[in-house]
Structure 1
Amino acid sequence: MKSKKYLPIIVALRGLAALAVCLCHLTIDFASEDGLLRSAFRYGWAGVEVFFVISGFVIPFSLLSSNFRIGHYFRFMLKRIYRLEPSYIISLFFVIILNFLASSFDAFNGDPYSVSFSLILQHFGYLVNFFDNEWINPVYWTLEVEFHYYLLVGVFIALWNYKIKWLTILTVFGLLTLSFLDQDLITFFKYTDIFIIGIITAFYKKERVGRIPYIFCVTILAFVIFTHHGFVIMGLSTFSAAAIAFADHLGNYRPLIILGNISYSFYLVHLPIGGKIINLSKRLELTEFEKFGIVILATLASIAVAHVFYYFVEKPSHKWARRINFRD
């Protein structure tokens, strides 16, 4: 098996996952509960778990069998921060400003918008959950999960690159056991099983695991994920891993690639942009067909803003991140 750096299926899955989450959020509490529009996107929230599978795969896939060692850990974390944090921080202030502007209109229903400085600082350190507060943008909880994953996986990849089989098995098994802990403080621990199905797929694509052992591991993980998260997440996680493992050439369609490229920005802005359009539309008496049109409008508006966000914020941050390498 020849390892390839660019896998169209990864970009396509990202785009589809972001779109599914967006449509789920825009139709919930807006479309009729028993209508076709709500039914079609009822389980779109599970796109988040697809992101976790992809993250579990992408970082080990890029660094396994490389010269990455524990001495590169802080550069690894800095690279992740350069790549992801500018979009997150700017979107945070974008949401705050948008909420202040929205609450200033006479048509606004509710108390004037306010946000404490301490809550903003908690967002900077992904500490909102630790202080039992609410995220300014509800999707930010997943960024906390991803950040905690980065903190651990950078250490683990350095260990895995020594290619000591018992050490690799021990660390992967240890990571899996975290998903069995009965706790609510560290959300990442609840999802380690989903990240691991991506990690095992990276081992397979890097020829560190054979096909039969890989299928065996995925089967065991599918059972664990089903036990912890239910059938929908198990099905999507397993499908995503299998698509990456055995059909990585699929998904090379321009609309999907474009959507996949802006998926992070799209994910960050779809609620403050599309959500505001939906909230305004709730004041109107609309048919189900008209609601469908509003959802399309809100989605397209979110994609348009995401494009701007991608080109002026996310893309430059990717360039900064690429300047960091792991050469000694």
Structure 2
Amino acid sequence: MPPSASTNTADSRPRPTPALSQRPVGPSAGGGRLAAVDGLRMVAAVAVAAYHYLGSPTPRFWGEAYDLPRAAPLLHAVSGYGWLGVEAFFLISGFAICMSCWGRTPAQFAVSRIARLYPLYWAVVLIIAATGTVTVLAGGRSGAPTDLRTTLGNLTMLPGPLGLEPTDGVAWTLWVEGRFYLLMGALLLIGLTYRRVVAFGFLWLIVASIGRELHSAVLDEFLLSQYAGLFVTGIALYLMHRFGPNLLLWLLAGFAWCYALTVLNDRVTSHAGADWTLCATALTGFLALLALACPGPLRHLPWRPLIHAGALTYPFYLVHQSLGIPVTRSILKTAPSLGLLPVIALGLLFSLVLAAALNHLVDRRLGRLLRHRLDAALPTEDPPPRERTR
């Protein structure tokens, strides 16, 4: 949870007293975690996992012998929309990252993101590379690239821009998140205030729309035109959570959501059989839940299991496909009599247990250590130049 202060460190000149709508009124000014938001994170992660295990064309993972669409048509059809969990993640991220930015310097924000994302990601990439190498040496076929060059490139979390295949199949979403962090970091350099964040939200959507009209790959790359509406909607919800809802913030949220649902059609058409109306309805329902969890009445929900679920979301998301699915295939190969659905349940359970272990051993220990060391390395002012020795 970020500090409660919302002062602008980039400008120390006296400012007029803000209007009532610009004073922090939500619990974010000094409260605890938002348990309901943590729970929604896990819902999004489970949706993505359901898509990979149950909703995508099943021969891709399980082989032609297992016809899930025929054996469980409703389960397969519903899980086929689980890819919307990625959109849900970006919506939550707009809220959570705006919260994380507030009251921090750009360097402090960078430290918080590096310590949160990289240790777990490094661990998963190295585990995938190690298990893949062992599989190849044993005469099998690795589902992920295991050569040293690809592994080193993936450790940067930038495999796509470096022209490499991702070691972890879900890593493409981390690059989208990373570009959103860069935009928020640029805003932090200017100074984070209520007015500037609102103006930033409207300006981002307008320029992203221009980029789409011009079919500009450069603007699309920097402005995330496919997902800008989701991020800005989340930002608007955080501003409502912190300062209280008002007409301007509802206009920002409405503008952003109309944009998000319009460009959602690009993603819908890339998933065979998906219906835009169903996708828009499901995503709007998730937005309603997030609104209840943020500025709404569920923000005071104190249920600790949801907080623990939120802590497992990131490691579970990282391991469920690139590690969980190979384990599931192995169980299915060695014990086919169990049946596909029970084996899938075992694979998801394995992913959850592995996520809990990584959270305990890597995130809580290595992540905290890295954050502590990086925080200690941030000087309060520029260090003096080293003396030259003759």
TM bracket (short chain): 0.7 to 0.9
Opposite residue 223 of structure 1, the aligned amino acid is C
Matched, 1:9 2:59: no
How far 1:105 moved relative to its partner? 4.1
Correspondence for 2:250: 215
CA distance in 2, matches of 1:144, 1:310: 21
How far 1:224 moved relative to its partner? 0.7
- 3-state SS, counterpart of residue 46 of structure 2: helix
CA distance in 1, matches of 2:166, 2:143: 18
Matched, 1:176 2:211: no
How far 1:111 moved relative to its partner? 7.4
CA distance in 1, matches of 2:305, 2:197: 39
CA distance in 2, matches of 1:256, 1:44: 20
Correspondence for 1:76: 109
Query: Quick one: structure 1 residues 99 and 278, their matched pair in 2 at CA, closer, same or farther if it must change by over 3 Å?
Result: same
The TM-score with structure 2 as length reference comes to: 0.71
- 3-state SS, counterpart of residue 68 of structure 2: coil
How far 1:145 moved relative to its partner? 1.2
CA contact (8 A) 1:16 1:256 kept: no
CA contact (8 A) 1:270 1:299 kept: yes
How far 1:278 moved relative to its partner? 3.1
CA distance in 1, matches of 2:143, 2:339: 30
Alignment of 1:114-153 (within 5 A): 115-153=146-184
CA distance in 2, matches of 1:307, 1:113: 23
Alignment of 1:265-304 (within 5 A): 265-280=315-330, 283=333, 290-304=339-353
Query: Quick one: structure 1 residues 229 and 213, their matched pair in 2 at CA, closer, same or farther if it must change by over 3 Å?
Result: same
CA distance in 2, matches of 1:177, 1:73: 25
- 3-state SS, counterpart of residue 190 of structure 1: coil
Alignment of 1:7-86 (within 5 A): 7-27=34-54, 28=56, 29=58, 30=62, 32-34=68-70, 35-64=73-102, 66=103, 68=104, 72-86=105-119
Matched, 1:194 2:230: yes
How far 1:80 moved relative to its partner? 1.3
How far 1:9 moved relative to its partner? 1.3
Over the residues paired in the alignment, what is the CA RMSD in angstroms?
3.1
Rg (Cα) greater in structure? 2
CA contact (8 A) 2:145 2:167 kept: no
CA distance in 2, matches of 1:52, 1:149: 9
CA distance in 2, matches of 1:187, 1:280: 41
CA contact (8 A) 2:229 2:260 kept: yes
CA distance in 1, matches of 2:309, 2:353: 11
Match of 1:312 among 335, 340, 361: 361
CA contact (8 A) 2:26 2:295 kept: no
How far 1:252 moved relative to its partner? 4.9
How far 1:301 moved relative to its partner? 0.6
After TM superposition, the structure 1 stretch with the greater mean CA deviation from structure 2, 214-223 or 264-273, is 214-223
CA contact (8 A) 1:84 1:317 kept: no
Query: Quick one: structure 1 residues 45 and 211, their matched pair in 2 at CA, closer, same or farther if it must change by over 3 Å?
Result: same
- 3-state SS, counterpart of residue 43 of structure 1: coil
CA contact (8 A) 2:99 2:238 kept: yes
How far 1:321 moved relative to its partner? 6.1
> Alignment identity in percent?
22
CA contact (8 A) 1:197 1:237 kept: no
Q: How many residues are treated as equivalent by the alignment?
A: 317
Matched, 1:242 2:291: yes
Match of 2:135 among 88, 96, 102: 102
Matched, 1:257 2:268: no
Opposite residue 228 of structure 2, the aligned amino acid is T
Q: Alpha-carbon deviations, 1:49-97, whole Å to 9, x = none?
A: 2221222111222443x3x3xxx31232122112211111111111111
Opposite residue 49 of structure 2, the aligned amino acid is C
Structure 2 runs not aligned, ≥5 long: 1-24, 266-275, 381-390
Structure 1 runs not aligned, ≥5 long: none
